[in-house]
Structure 1
Amino acid sequence: MDAEAKRRQLSAALNRVAGGDRPALCLVYEMTSAKLFGVCLRILNDRSEAEDVLQDVYLTVWRKAASFDDARASPITWLVAIARNRSIDRLRSAGVVRFSQPIEAADAVADPAPSAAQTLEDAQESKRLKSCLDEIEARQSAAIRSAFMDGLTYEVLAEREGVPLGTMKSWIRRGLAKLRECLER
C-alpha cells in the first residue's frame, strides 16, 4: 500500500472513530502505535512512562477524534502532535525541568504524502513522457512501455512479437535514444 493510500485509510479510520467505531480505533492503533511510541519514548527517555503516555494518547484520540480535520493536517501529523504534547505534559507534571535532549533535536515527522507542487510536477512529467512516447515509432513505443512499465523482459517481448532477441534490444535501445532526445528538448 502506498503512502497516499495509507493516509486515506488512516483518515477514514479517524473519521469512524469520531462516530464511536471501536474497531476503527484498533485499526488506528495498529497503523500508528509504533511511530507514536517512538515519539513518546524519545521525549520521555523512559519505556514505562512512554507506554503510559501512549495509552493516554489513544484515550485522547477516542475522545477528540471529531476534532480531526483532514484539510488542516495529515492524520499522522495530528496524532504525533497529540503524542508529543502528552509526553511534554507528563514531563511537566513530574517536575522535570530539563530534557536529556532538546525537543528541537527530535526528528521532524514528515507527511509521506507528496506535496501539491510535487503532484503537479509529477503529472506534468508524466504528460511529457506520454507525449514523447507517442512521437516515436509505434513498435518501439510499445516495446518500451511493456519493458519499463509492465516489467516484461526483452526475451518475452521478442517472443511475443516474433522477432529475434537482438532485434527487440535494438528497437528498445533506439526508442530510448529518441525518447531521451525528445525529453531533452
Structure 2
Amino acid sequence: MTTRADIENLIARVAQGDRAAFKALYGATSAKLFGVTLRVLNDRAEAEEVLQEIYVKVWHNADRYTVNGLSPMTWLITIARNSAVDRLRKLRRAETPAELEERIADDAAGPEALAVAASERGRLVACFEELATKHAEAVRRAYLEGETYADLAARFDVPLNTMRTWLRRSLLSLRECLTR
C-alpha cells in the first residue's frame, strides 16, 4: 500500500520531471481517480479521456503541490473531480432533451459506489449520517453529481456564501470522522 509520504515524494519527483516517479504515481493513484471521474461522468470512455487529461495536468502542475499536512490524494482528487465536472458540463450543454432524460432515469449504482461498498462504505455512510440531512445532500450533489454552488444555493434557498460554508464545514466533518 502506498502511504501519504510515498505519494508526496512521488509528486515532488514528478515536479522535477522524473518519469519513473510519474509512472509510479499513476500506478498508485489512477484507480481511485478513475473511480471519481467515472462516478461523476457515468461514462467509461469519457472517464478514461478525463483521466488522461488529469495526469497531463499533474505532470505540468506537480510543482504547485505543497506539503501542508493534508493528504496528497485530496489534491489529486480535487483535480480529478474538477476535470470531470468540467467535462460533464460541456457534455450536458451538447445533450438533447431525450438524452438528458435517459441519463437521469438511470439511477443504478455506479462503479465508484460499488468500490466504496466493497472497502469503506460502512465508514463513509456512518460519517454522512453524522451530517445534517441537508448538508449531506448538498455534499453529494456538489461532489458526486457536479452541481455548482450557485445551483445548490438556489435549490436549498440559502445565500451562496452560506452554501460554501455548509460544504466546507461538511467536508471538514467528513474528513475528521474518516480519520477516527
TM-score band w.r.t. shorter chain: 0.5 to 0.7
User: What RMSD over aligned residues (CA atoms) do the two structures have, in Å?
Assistant: 3.0
- Specify whether residues 19 and 78 from structure 1 end up closer, same or farther in structure 2 by C-alpha distance, changes over 3 A only: same
What's the secondary structure of 1:71's corresponding residue? coil
Q: Within the alignment, does 1:25 sit opposite 2:22 as a pair?
A: yes
What's the secondary structure of 1:73's corresponding residue? coil
Q: Percent identity?
A: 42
- Specify whether residues 104 and 96 from structure 1 end up closer, same or farther in structure 2 by C-alpha distance, changes over 3 A only: farther
Task: Give 1:91 deviation, angstroms.
Answer: 1.3
Runs of 4 or more above 4 Å deviation: 96-102
Q: Within the alignment, does 1:89 sit opposite 2:86 as a pair?
A: yes
Q: Within the alignment, does 1:13 sit opposite 2:10 as a pair?
A: yes
Contact 1:36 1:80 in 2 (8 A): yes
- Aligned pair partner of 2:48 in 39, 46, 51: 51
Task: Give 1:70 deviation, angstroms.
Answer: 1.4
TM-score by length of 2: 0.53
- Aligned pair partner of 2:144 in 106, 128, 133: 106
TM-score by length of 1: 0.52
Where structure 1 has 5 or more consecutive residues not aligned to the other structure, the ranges are 119-185
Q: Distance in 1 between matches of 2:67 and 2:33?
A: 19
Q: Distance in 2 between matches of 1:13 and 1:90?
A: 27
Contact 2:81 2:143 in 1 (8 A): no
Q: Distance in 2 between matches of 1:59 and 1:92?
A: 20
Task: Give 1:104 deviation, angstroms.
Answer: 3.8
- Specify whether residues 48 and 22 from structure 1 end up closer, same or farther in structure 2 by C-alpha distance, changes over 3 A only: same
Where structure 2 has 5 or more consecutive residues not aligned to the other structure, the ranges are 108-139, 146-170
Map 1:111-126 onto structure 2 (within 5 A).
none
